[in-house]
């Protein structure tokens, strides 16, 4: 392999739909959701066999640097890119690409820090396939997950021509569909879940960013000359999907056939957690009577008792208690917007 392989971990998100367990000072990537390690640790450990510790790069916000250092104490300060303002994934990935290019360039494996992935060997085999393709061709590669249900909470990738075993040209990206459309995608067989994981040469992604979002590229090129806060304040707030992936004709997909979940809401716990015979997931000291298809997250210090309910979510923390119907799981941000409007309640965010 000619190019170094870098693991670029995007770790600046807030995980708002997992409030109140996910908070501003400790969002979901720094939580252990059913495992022994945090999601960030698990993300890094999955890619380490392909990169080594010396090629791990974490992009995060200034306010989360302390947590990154706590979770990854071996990570050198120079490999933590600290964003002063939130500007979504396009600036974060561009900055990482420039950092790598300044050190001779290489293959970037871009991974969100807050996903649950099992079957690590299968995951690395897919990533290796993408690395080999990106090394041979000046292309952008995304990982598409083979769908197992008509999911309405994920975006989709439609693929066209198969280039070789396990690699397709991307025809288009599709926003989160309604249930009927998701069922149609599942039946057609050429639609995959958009995982938000990418593989490309640093020079390849920078070329595309410069073409489609020159303000991001030109702005971040000035980092050695101007204040990073001043630069970031002028950058567009845009995801890499909108900035590049949905515009470029140079996108290819490798198929991921491993367990993957982006833990986008509390409903994800019923997919990643151990369910009882009535479909409940219970973490903590909980008593569930005549209760079905519910999620209860508590602690060992308090008893939570549910009687005669179905399809609800209860999350109890020292600072806040959340109770909602599971069908409202995607709307937790509404609560946070209300809290933000009340000065005395900022401590609950």
Q: pLDDT tens-digit profile of 251-265?
A: 999 999 899 998 888
d(CA 63, CA 24): 9
Select from 205, 86, 68 the least CA-distant residue to 139: 205
| HSE toward the beta carbon, residue 322, CA cutoff 13 A | 30
d(CA 33, CA 217): 36
Select from 317, 324, 334, 315 the least CA-distant residue to 273: 315
Convert the pLDDT of each residue in 150-194 to its tens digit.
998 899 999 999 999 899 999 999 999 999 999 999 999 999 999
Convert the pLDDT of each residue in 276-306 to its tens digit.
999 999 999 999 999 999 999 998 889 999 9
Domain spanning 5-261: CATH superfamily = Spore Coat Polysaccharide Biosynthesis Protein SpsA; Chain A (3.90.550.10)
* Token digits of residue 115: 């996903």
For the chain, the structural domain boundaries read: 5-261, 266-348
d(CA 191, CA 189): 6
Residue 150, classified by CB atoms within 10 Å of its CB into exposed (0-12), middle (13-18) or buried (19+), is: middle
Question: What distances in angstroms separate CA 312 from CA 12, 24, 56, 233, 282, one per listed residue?
Answer: 29, 24, 39, 41, 12
Rounded mean pLDDT of 111-135?
Answer: 95
Select from 63, 65, 73 the least CA-distant residue to 41: 73
Q: How far is CA 345 from the centre of its chain?
A: 28
Question: For residue 136, is pLDDT > 70?
Answer: yes
pTM comes to: 0.92
């Amino acid at each position: 392999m000619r190019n170094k392989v870098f693991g670029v971990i995007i770790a600046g998100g807030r995980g708002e739909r997992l409030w109140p367990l996910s908070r501003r000072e400790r969002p979901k990537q720094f939580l252990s959701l059913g495992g022994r390690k945090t999601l960030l640790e698990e993300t890094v450990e999955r890619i380490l066999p392909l990169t080594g510790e010396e090629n791990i790069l974490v992009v995060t916000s200034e306010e989360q640097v302390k947590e990154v250092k706590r979770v990854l104490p071996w990570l050198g300060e120079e490999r933590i890119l600290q964003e002063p303002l939130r500007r979504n994934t396009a600036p974060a990935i561009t900055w990482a690409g420039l950092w790598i290019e300044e050190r001779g360039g290489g293959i970037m494996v871009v991974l969100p820090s807050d996903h649950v992935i099992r079957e690590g060997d299968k995951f690395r085999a897919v990533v290796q396939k993408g690395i080999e393709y990106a090394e041979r061709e000046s292309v952008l590669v995304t990982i598409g997950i083979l769908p197992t249900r008509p999911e309405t909470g994920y975006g989709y990738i439609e693929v066209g021509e198969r280039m070789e075993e396990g690699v397709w040209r991307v025809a288009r990206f599709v926003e989160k569909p309604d249930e009927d459309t998701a069922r149609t995608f599942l039946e057609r067989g050429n639609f995959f879940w958009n995982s938000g994981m990418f593989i490309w040469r640093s020079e390849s992604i920078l070329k595309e960013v410069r073409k489609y979002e020159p303000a991001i590229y030109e702005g971040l090129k000035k980092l050695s000359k101007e204040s990073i806060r001043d630069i970031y304040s002028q950058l567009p707030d845009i995801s890499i999907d909108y900035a590049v992936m949905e515009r470029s004709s140079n996108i290819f997909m490798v198929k991921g056939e491993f367990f993957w979940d982006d833990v986008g809401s509390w409903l994800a716990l019923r997919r990643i957690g151990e369910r009882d015979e009535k479909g409940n997931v219970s973490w903590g000291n909980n008593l569930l009577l005549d209760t079905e298809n519910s999620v209860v997250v508590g602690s060992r210090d308090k008893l939570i008792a549910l009687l005669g309910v179905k399809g609800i979510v209860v999350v109890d923390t020292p600072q806040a208690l959340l109770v909602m119907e599971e069908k409202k799981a995607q709307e937790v941000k509404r609560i946070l917007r209300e809290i933000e409007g009340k000065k005395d309640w900022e401590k609950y965010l």
